[in-house]
Amino acid sequence: MRRVLAGVLATSVVAGLVTLAAHASPRAAADEPVVVVSSTFDDGTAQGWTSRAGEVVEPSTAVARSGTHGLAVTGRAQSWQGPTLSLLDKAQKGIRYDLSVWVRLAAGEAPTQARLSVERRTAGTPSYDQVVGDTAVTANGWVNLRGSYTLAADVDFLATYVELSSATASLHIDDFALSYTPLPPIQTDIPSVKDVLAAHFAVGAAVETAQLLNNHGQLLAKHFNSITPGNTLKWDATEPTEGAFRFTDAETLVAWAKANGAAVRGHTLVWHQQTPAWVFKDAAGNDMTATPENKALLLSRLEAHIRGVVGHFGDDIGVWDVVNEVVDENQADGLRRSKWFEITGLDYLRTAFRVAREVAPNARLVINDYNTNVPAKRDKLYDLVVKLRAEGVPIDAVGHQMHVNVQWPALAETEAMLTKFAALGVDQQITEMDVSIYTDNSQSYPTPPADVLLTQAYRYRDFFELYKKHAADISSVTLWGLADDSTWLDSFPVTRKDHPLLFDTRLQAKGAYWGVVDPGRITSTTTTTTTTTTTTTTSMTMPPVRCTVDYRVGGQWQGGFQAEVRITNATTTAIDGWTLAWSFPDGQRISQLWNGAHTQDGAAVTVKHASWNSALPPGGSVSFGFLGTWTGSNGKPGPFTLNGTRCVG
């Protein structure tokens, strides 16, 4: 990458493979945000922002979110046109950046959607990465687009840009910032997960190439002896157009694994998702229907794909998730109604395993699925494996994804899953484990509550104890991610921050880590900080729950919303006079409040009791409500404190 940030040094090497660069002069302090670029346009210039393709981009005083100027963009003719800023000399690979920009439409424009993206080019070939997806924007107010981005490889072009769903609408942007928060060093004085579990099974993490760099790469190398490419071996990544295979990212991961003595789980050859549309087009380019010709064509594409991908890596990949998520327990025959099934019946499974075995005779071949603990699904998968193996289909192992949460499923159900397949004599692997802190879609914690993290730690302890008990049947346990800073659960099943892994967003060991490594340290220890000579352990005694707050948005409309807040005194002592405080995440403002008196200073809100509801008896509740304005996502506020004491909610 032709880039050097002012004051940046190339400093170290991971396994002789990747030269790293770090912000080093002056060295930024861990946890303190560093603003790399800030564009306010208040000097009356465009501050490096230009058009993507001929639209007009100029500083303007028509509207400004702060100061005197914004940047006006007019003359658009394509949805992808919009203001762009080169980041080539500003951002470096392996650093997670936060990008934030405010957007509004020009006066008179009809509401549309805005997105924030990054274009990067390697050897002239462009790729487009979305930082913030479609977000409603209007001419009436500013909307914040905010997201994070990590560049994984060297590039010769790198730029961020704002685009709209509307091809022609004019817009304004203001107050762009590119920043990052340096991470503290990883903990080097704690046991390596892979060493602790070496006698039982391999331990893996699903990763992307950016996670091989810097602190992430160090954490991965220290704790894991297996990796699963999270996306880079899927069909859309490896064969986006027929016969044109792309392996750059996957090769980077495989090379890292070789250099670091880690195994690679190949994920995945056949799936109903992340498969390009061309795969299911007939010879005339139309969507395939179930005809003998289409079946033959699809199976030949499948065979060519597996030969191309598996053959490319040979013995460098010792395990393949040959097929992924093919069971549907709601079907009488237990088979998912995917395009694969509709067009080929069971033959795609037979072909996939046969060809994989032929091309990689030494690899372990896996049938992988989620919810395999659920008895109905477990049994359908079991029946399928029995049937196919009886035909001679070379299925060596069953993969249990284990996307679970702090409550679900029961240990007994999980054990029943393991014992059921053990009786078959197949190998088993835990392939995608994570433990969500959420148990239903309505929950969202601004910061993960200590009691939930504690429960999570015990869940990890219990699951790993179970795996160890059945280690004779389990060859590897893989977590679906490295640390809480990057997890698919942040956007599934709803958008909210989840914390499902062993290491926190700063890559430090959580209670969950101790649950796996040394459960005796769960209750008293959550964080371990290292100095050069000593290890300091911070004790955490669980504070009792003093109060709970139930915050509900009862109605929401363009720019406005109504919320109800219910406070419950969870102690055995009466409270006479209450003040509830919280912080809004998205610039919300209270316009009118009832059953209390409020003050608001920026994001910080304080609500004091009214004369008639000051008493909160033990176990008792009071409620108040308000009308407010919002932009962005109208996220749930928190943390809530009642008379200075932190509440659960």
Instruction: Kindly tell me which of 64 and 433 has the beta carbon lying closer to ligand 9MR.
Output: 433
E-strand spans in 340-402? 364-369, 397-400
Please, which of residues 260-299 interact with ligand 9MR by CB under 6 A?
273-274
For residues 551 and 131, what is the distance between their CA atoms, to the nearest angstrom?
29
One residue of 204, 230, 266, 500 binding ligand 9MR per CB under 6 A: 230
Which residue type sits at 368? N
- The alpha carbon of 267 is separated from its chain's Cα centroid by a whole number of angstroms, namely 17
175, 369, 396, 434: the active-site residue: 369
Q: Are strands 403-405 and 397-400 parallel, antiparallel or unpaired?
A: unpaired
- Tell me: does residue 231 bind ligand 9MR (CB under 6 A): yes
Name the residue with tokens 């914040």.
144
Instruction: Tell me the closest approach of the beta carbon of residue 177 to ligand 9MR, in angstroms.
Output: 26
Examine the residue annotation and report whether 369 is marked as an active-site residue of this protein: yes
Residue 438: phi, psi to the nearest 5? -105, 145
Please, which of residues 313-332 interact with ligand 9MR by CB under 6 A?
324
- Tell me: does residue 401 bind ligand 9MR (CB under 6 A): yes
Site string for ligand 9MR, 440-479 (x = CB under 6 A): ----------------------------------------
Examine the residue annotation and report whether 342 is marked as an active-site residue of this protein: no
What share of residues in the chain are helix, strand, coil (percent, to 5)?
20, 35, 40
Instruction: Kindly tell me which of 396 and 434 has the beta carbon lying closer to ligand 9MR.
Output: 434
E-strand spans in 388-426? 397-400, 403-405
Name the residue with tokens 């009809």.
110
Instruction: Kindly tell me which of 206 and 580 has the beta carbon lying closer to ligand 9MR.
Output: 206
One residue of 80, 458, 488, 551 binding ligand 9MR per CB under 6 A: 488
Instruction: Kindly tell me which of 257 and 563 has the beta carbon lying closer to ligand 9MR.
Output: 257
Beta bridge partners, 135, equal 114
Examine the residue annotation and report whether 189 is marked as an active-site residue of this protein: no
According to DSSP, residue 288 is labeled P
Instruction: Kindly tell me which of 266 and 637 has the beta carbon lying closer to ligand 9MR.
Output: 266
For residues 644 and 453, what is the distance between their CA atoms, to the nearest angstrom?
22
Instruction: Tell me the closest approach of the beta carbon of residue 231 to ligand 9MR, in angstroms.
Output: 5
Instruction: Tell me the closest approach of the beta carbon of residue 324 to ligand 9MR, in angstroms.
Output: 6
325, 427, 485, 498: the active-site residue: 325
Name the residue with tokens 């001929």.
54
- Tell me: does residue 500 bind ligand 9MR (CB under 6 A): no
One residue of 55, 239, 432, 484 binding ligand 9MR per CB under 6 A: 432
CA torsion sign for 62, 65, 67, 72 is negative
- Nearest residue to ligand 9MR, scored by beta-carbon proximity: 488
Contact (CB, 8 A) for 456 and 438: no
Nearest residue to 387 (alpha-carbon basis) of 329, 323, 333 = 333
119, 208, 432, 484: the active-site residue: 432
Instruction: Kindly tell me which of 150 and 166 has the beta carbon lying closer to ligand 9MR.
Output: 150
Exposure class string for 387-400: b at 16+ Cβ within 10 A, else e: ebbeeebbbbbbbb
Instruction: Tell me the closest approach of the beta carbon of residue 370 to ligand 9MR, in angstroms.
Output: 6
Binding site for ligand 9MR (CB under 6 A): 230-231, 273-274, 324, 401, 432, 488
So which residues are the catalytic ones? 325, 369, 432
